[in-house]
A = this chain, B = another copy of it.
């Protein structure tokens, strides 16, 4: 059954291409590539791609890659014809586009380098092929998760929590941020994760004031706050969770601030449902933090979509008018960050439902203070 999902996804894209009157699309984004084909290699960087898809609006799709990945290509992308572009992508497309009768070619403006676009534009210009920016087209297919995808994300969330709890039980004064982050990463890998879904954060005391802190050799002291932000990739799907706790009994200031963040998170969760605007969810959390006097100390957006990528659409930001829809999955992660003191962030993932939302997390460590 699941083997059918890739042809079905390709068909859905092909319908959209016909509607947009383009005769093919070049897919450069690694998440979109995996979504449509099942081909797993990641890109070393945007300039060093492990391949791209060429989807004609009718007929069999192509996976273009180089000889480093030919085995993965043949094995994983079973419905795709494979072409190796060892003489360069340009040479390959110059041959293949006319062969497939492509007269107008969609591309991903949000995931193609200006220089790549420029070369593509020159080459297609000579062939009389029109280029059309179709940024967001595949993301719009991905934004609503199927039940199968929701279950994969749930499994990713629960495994991530299991890893967190195992390592959490071993945390003691003297351990460094680096040791804790590393222990989390190890436990992820030994539990069957493909990889962490982003660089694991473990930050003590003032270091937690940086929302994207990089683990240092600072050793944990009794009374330090500990902020952990971690996620993993399981069967392609990401999880993302933050917890903040204290090494030893928490003081009143910590408890007060944690309660504010928790209340902000709860208000946002209460507001999430099919039809709610993203910015209204952000506002619901932000209001709690502002009313408590910390309005200047919550600088980032409230949350983001999670799926094949750990950061994807939709964004729960104060500037997003987008409406949430049943089947979307987002993080809810308010925080308070004070440069001289540290930071607190709590992050769970939820599935949007018709009349509310379902929290995927089960872990409640330190949330009940």
Q: Which residues of A contact B (CB under 8 A)?
A: 40-42, 44-48, 50, 66-72, 86, 107, 109-118, 133, 135, 178-179, 182, 185-186, 189-190, 194-195, 198-199, 209-212, 214, 299-300, 311, 339
- Please, which residue of chain B has its CB at the minimum distance from the CB of A309? B45
Nearest 8 pairs of A and B residues by beta carbon: A67-B299, A109-B115, A68-B211, A114-B117, A109-B114, A110-B115, A46-B46, A112-B114
Q: How many copies does the complex hold?
A: 2
Shortest CB–CB separation between residue A230 and chain B, in angstroms?
14
A sample of 11 more A-B contacts (CB under 8 A), given A68-B299, A71-B339, A86-B299, is: A45-B46, A46-B46, A67-B300, A68-B211, A69-B210, A109-B115, A112-B113, A113-B113, A114-B114, A115-B133, A194-B214
A113-B113, A115-B110 known; A300-B44 Cβ under 8 A: no
Secondary structure of the A side of the interface?
Answer: mixed
Could you list 29 examples of A-B contacts with CB < 8 Å? A42-B199, A44-B198, A45-B46, A45-B311, A46-B46, A47-B111, A48-B311, A66-B299, A66-B300, A67-B300, A68-B210, A69-B212, A70-B299, A71-B209, A71-B210, A71-B339, A86-B299, A109-B115, A109-B118, A110-B114, A111-B113, A112-B113, A112-B114, A114-B117, A115-B135, A179-B190, A182-B190, A185-B185, A194-B214
Cβ contact within 8 Å between A212 and B50: yes
Chain B residues near A46: list those with CB within 8 A: 45-46, 111
When C-beta atoms are compared, the residue in chain B nearest to A87 turns out to be B319
Question: A350 vs B71: C-alpha distance in the bound complex, in angstroms?
Answer: 30
With the chains together, A204 CA to B42 CA distance in Å? 20
A214 engages B113 (CB within 8 Å): no
- With both chains docked as a complex, state the minimum distance between the C-beta of A215 and any C-beta of chain B, in angstroms: 9
Return A352 CB to nearest CB of chain B, in Å. Answer: 23
Is A44 within 8 A of B311, CB to CB? yes
Contacts A86-B299, A299-B68, A299-B86; A212 near B41 (Cβ below 8 A): yes
Q: With A and B bound together, what is the CA distance between A86 and B301 in angstroms?
A: 10
Min CB distance A72 to B, Å, is 7
- Taking a contact as CB atoms closer than 8 A, the residue among B66, B111, B189, B299 that contacts A178 in the complex is B189
- In the bound assembly, the distance between CA atoms of A214 and B42 in angstroms comes to 10
Question: A339: which B residues are within 8 A, CB to CB?
Answer: 71
CB neighbours (8 Å) of A110 from chain B are: 47, 113-115
Bound CA–CA A22/B223 (angstroms) = 54
Contacts of A67 in B (CB 8 A): 299-300
What residues of B have a CB within 8 angstroms of the CB of A109 in the complex? 113-115, 118
Please give the distance in Å from A307's CB to the nearest CB on chain B: 14
Which B-chain residue is minimally distant from A310 (CB atoms)? B44
Q: Give Cα distance in the complex from A214 to B209, angstroms.
A: 35
Closest CB in chain B relative to A29 CB, distance in Å: 9
- A300: which B residues are within 8 A, CB to CB? 66-68
Chain B residues positioned under 8 Å from A66 (CB to CB): 299-300
Which B residues are CB-close (under 8 A) to A86?
299
Bound: A281/B233 CA distance, A:
40
Contacts of A117 in B (CB 8 A): 114
A111 vs B116: C-alpha distance when bound (angstroms): 10
A24, chain B: closest CB distance, angstroms: 18
Which B residue's beta carbon lies closest to that of A112?
B114
